[in-house]
Amino acid sequence: MVFYNPHMFKKYSILFLLGIFFTSCHTDKLSNKKALKHFDKGEYELTIKELLPLAQKGFQLDQTNYLLGESYRLSNRITQSLPYYQQAQAKGYVDKMLPYYMAISAKSIGNYELTKSYLNEFVKSKPSRLYQIKSEIELENLGQIPDLLKKQSPVTLQALTGNTSKTEFDAKKIGDELIFTSSSKPEIYKNNGLPFLGIVKAPLKNPGEIGNQSIFSSVLFKENANDGTPAFTKDGTTVVFARGNTGKSKDPSPDVDLYISKKTANTWSEPERLSISDSLAWDGSPCFSADERTLYFSSNRRGGKGGVDLYRVPIDNSGRFGRPINLGSTINTPGDELFPYVSANGKLYFSSDGHPSIGGLDLFVASRNETEIVVEHLGVPINSIGDDFAISFSDSTQGYISSNRPGGKGDDDIYFFKSTGSEDRWWTTAPPPVIDTLNKKIVNYFVQVKVVDPSGNPIDSVKINVRKNGQTLSNEKTNKKGFIELIDLAENDELVFKCDKEDFITVRSSFSMEGKTIPESLLKKEMTDTTFQVTITMDRPEIGKEISKLYEINSIYYDLDKADIRPDAAEELDKIVQFLSDNTQMNLELGAHTDARASTGYNLKLSQRRAESAVNYIIRRGITKDRIKPKGYGESQLINECSDGVECPEEMHQQNRRTEFKIIKISTE
């Protein structure tokens, strides 16, 4: 007979419950481990699926909530991020960027006071210079939002009938069809859990309604990649579009390039990657100018003004693409500028979150007011608290935009707009178009820097610090051809380049715009691009090598029978001080010389005094004495025929009264 024992029952019950607890803990840890792996791969939708149950259970709420917020932000669902960021902060999660992410999340839902509070908190933490600037600009922009909300777009706006729960954006009317980008492919993109993007078409039943979607072209429809944002020439025979984000990259953003395809009969050619694409950058949202002589696009390549910038590329008569040129800091900001569109009358439209905006991306038009480029916000209802982008016109009174504003059917939706008949329309009565007026005897100045060795061969991977007008502009690295990105210039700009590479002599070079601007009377074309070439030579250190021949350091000269340092000589010695500061592993000899107009013994002593005078000048400016050696050579190394008994003009004697600089020691430590 089995007797009931309450103590035994309680004991086994506790063991049973403990078993469930430990099993649950083990399962949660496995889920968390999976989530971290997905997050590291950029698979944010899978990260969310693993972490949401953990958050509901209360598992590691600081990290779990932070990763949920990040996953929503990084998969373009920032409106869902804020509650998770707030809970992560409340649970003590520490990340210097957290207040910034919370600020942009708050702005995405229209909570401007909270945005301001989080930005102020972020600025107090002393972030990096870039984010300091972005935050200060955003704080300033927040003050303009009340006026932006009052500004009315002279249009009526309606959601396109035919939008689905998919993502649909960047619509363009071609004939009786609407061509746009849609998340319509069979495979799922693990970044956001939606199908991969593809270029599709749909018949227009009327301007605000479409029929069923279908694939635009099977040739342009790669199943395991995101394709979209096509730009067509007027005759419909050439298309440039963006392709990338295969999901195989840990960081999905750089994995996008521009491709081109051409139509023969009814067949599109296999897309080819455009040479203007940067394999290390995100390049997308292309657009042809009205005359099809320029391609505009967005890129986050090195050398830009901030996040994603707008660029233009000239196209010659043979259809060849030139080099990309940044549109400059009036249009581009430390934020993102995307989806350029040039209307039939030459106006430049684009989306930006760096200019004062209501929500995330807002739509703007750029025009010129006399000599100044003006960027104008398009007002509401064109703009909203969501992302508003990808404007296009089907005629002079109507067109399409894309938006993820509240109330839509999918992640992004297409909206149809039509003029209300108001004469105050940005596409008709705004100031002269920026694209046209920039072409009226305007000069865009650029400098192209190339680093070579003494034989003229390019040197790659040279680190170049670029300073403009006394302030650091950027830190660049040369490519395999020895170039860095083009640098845009204004009148009176002064540039200094410091070039560093292991096993090479560190060198500085300068460039000035003084005297280089082109008078307007000499301009022949409406727009002129002038690129100055700066070639910097770097050499390997070598005992006995004279540095003055390579590094913009001239020999210094003396007055007859004197050892005083003249003002012109002081400028060159200051360069020697900088050279020795940059190249701490090297010692130099200062070799001084005389002309032949005295006895040999006297000239030897005079040259030594000259060398010591130069050395003392350098020591007084902080260089230790053991790194510079004075050496007088007298008249033993004349550089011309002006020897004893030869009549020569004074300028030839002056050439001999000099001090030169050469390497005498290289430390290997």
pLDDT in the model for residue 21: 44
What is the bridge-based pairing of β-strands 413-419 and 309-314?
unpaired
Q: What is d(CA 394, CA 401) in angstroms, rounded to the nearest whole number?
A: 11
The order of strands in the sheet holding 337-342 is: 337-342, 348-352, 362-369, 372-377
Say what the alpha-carbon torsion angle 533, 537, 538, 541 is, to the nearest 10 degrees.
-170
Q: Can you spell out the DSSP letters for 144-184?
A: THHHHHHPBPSEEEEEPBT--SS-EEEEEEETTEEEEEEEE
442-537: what fold? Immunoglobulin-like (2.60.40)
* DSSP bridge partners of 448: 533
> Given the structure tokens 């009205």, which residue do they identify?
290
Given a contact cutoff of 8 angstroms between Cβ atoms, the answer to whether 204 and 177 are in contact is yes
Q: What is d(CA 548, CA 227) in angstroms, rounded to the nearest whole number?
A: 54
Q: What is d(CA 604, CA 602) in angstroms, rounded to the nearest whole number?
A: 5
Delimit the CATH 2.115.10.20 region(s) of the chain. Answer: 150-437
Delimit the CATH 2.60.40.10 region(s) of the chain. Answer: 442-537
* DSSP bridge partners of 6: none
User: 517: buried, middle or exposed (CB in 10 Å: 19+, 13-18, 0-12)?
Assistant: middle
Collect the ranges in the chain with pLDDT lower than 70: 1-26, 245-254, 368-371, 422-442, 525-527, 549-551, 669
Element (H, E) at 591: strand 586-592
Given a contact cutoff of 8 angstroms between Cβ atoms, the answer to whether 403 and 390 are in contact is no
CATH architecture of 150-437: 5 Propeller (2.115)
Phi-psi region of 649 (alpha: psi -120 to 50; beta: other; left: phi over 0): beta
- Choose the CATH number for 29-149 among 3.40.50.300, 1.25.40.10, 1.10.3720.10, 3.40.50.720: 1.25.40.10
pLDDT in the model for residue 445: 84
Burial letters 362-389, b for 16+ CB under 10 A, else e: bbbbbbbeeeebebbbbbbbbbbbbbbb
* CA-wise closest residue to 283 among 271, 296, 298, 305: 298
* CB within 8 Å of 406: residues ≥ 6 apart: 384, 385, 386
- Residue 641 DSSP SS3: coil
* Tokens coding 477: 């690295």
Given a contact cutoff of 8 angstroms between Cβ atoms, the answer to whether 310 and 284 are in contact is no
Q: What is d(CA 530, CA 487) in angstroms, rounded to the nearest whole number?
A: 12
**CA 38 from centre of chain:** 27
Delimit the CATH 3.30.1330.60 region(s) of the chain. Answer: 556-666
Q: Can you spell out the DSSP letters for 71-135?
A: HHHHTT-GGGTHHHHHHHHHTT---TTHHHHHHHHHHHTT-HHHHHHHHHHHHHT---HHHHHHH
Given a contact cutoff of 8 angstroms between Cβ atoms, the answer to whether 528 and 518 are in contact is yes
pLDDT in the model for residue 4: 41
DSSP state of 456: S
Delimit the CATH 1.25.40.10 region(s) of the chain. Answer: 29-149
Q: What is d(CA 234, CA 293) in angstroms, rounded to the nearest whole number?
A: 12
560: Cα within 13 Å, side-chain hemisphere: 8
Q: Can you spell out the DSSP letters for 181-231?
A: EEEEEEEEETTTTEEEEEEEEEEEEETTEE---EES-GGG--TTSEEEEEE
- Condensed to tens digits (0 to 9), the pLDDT of residues 297-335 reads 999 988 777 789 999 988 877 788 887 888 888 899 888
The dihedral sign for the CA sequence 346, 351, 352, 357: positive
Q: What is d(CA 46, CA 69) in angstroms, rounded to the nearest whole number?
A: 14
Whether CATH 3.30.1330.60 fits 556-666: yes
pLDDT in the model for residue 608: 95
Length of the chain: 669
What is the gyration radius of the CA atoms in the chain, in angstroms? Answer: 33
Phi-psi region of 460 (alpha: psi -120 to 50; beta: other; left: phi over 0): beta
* CB within 8 Å of 6: residues ≥ 6 apart: none
Given a contact cutoff of 8 angstroms between Cβ atoms, the answer to whether 251 and 257 are in contact is no
What is the bridge-based pairing of β-strands 272-273 and 283-288?
unpaired
* CB within 8 Å of 253: residues ≥ 6 apart: 282, 300
Give the CA distances from residue 56 to residues 51, 69, 557, in Å, rounded to whole numbers and listed in that order: 9, 14, 80
- Condensed to tens digits (0 to 9), the pLDDT of residues 335-381 reads 899 999 998 877 899 999 989 999 889 999 987 666 677 899 999 99
What is this structure's pTM? 0.62
Q: What is d(CA 196, CA 399) in angstroms, rounded to the nearest whole number?
A: 26
Given a contact cutoff of 8 angstroms between Cβ atoms, the answer to whether 65 and 82 are in contact is no
- Condensed to tens digits (0 to 9), the pLDDT of residues 30-72 reads 878 888 888 888 888 888 888 888 888 888 888 888 999 988 8
Q: What is d(CA 297, CA 283) in angstroms, rounded to the nearest whole number?
A: 7
Percentage of the chain exceeding pLDDT 70 = 89
Q: What is d(CA 516, CA 491) in angstroms, rounded to the nearest whole number?
A: 8
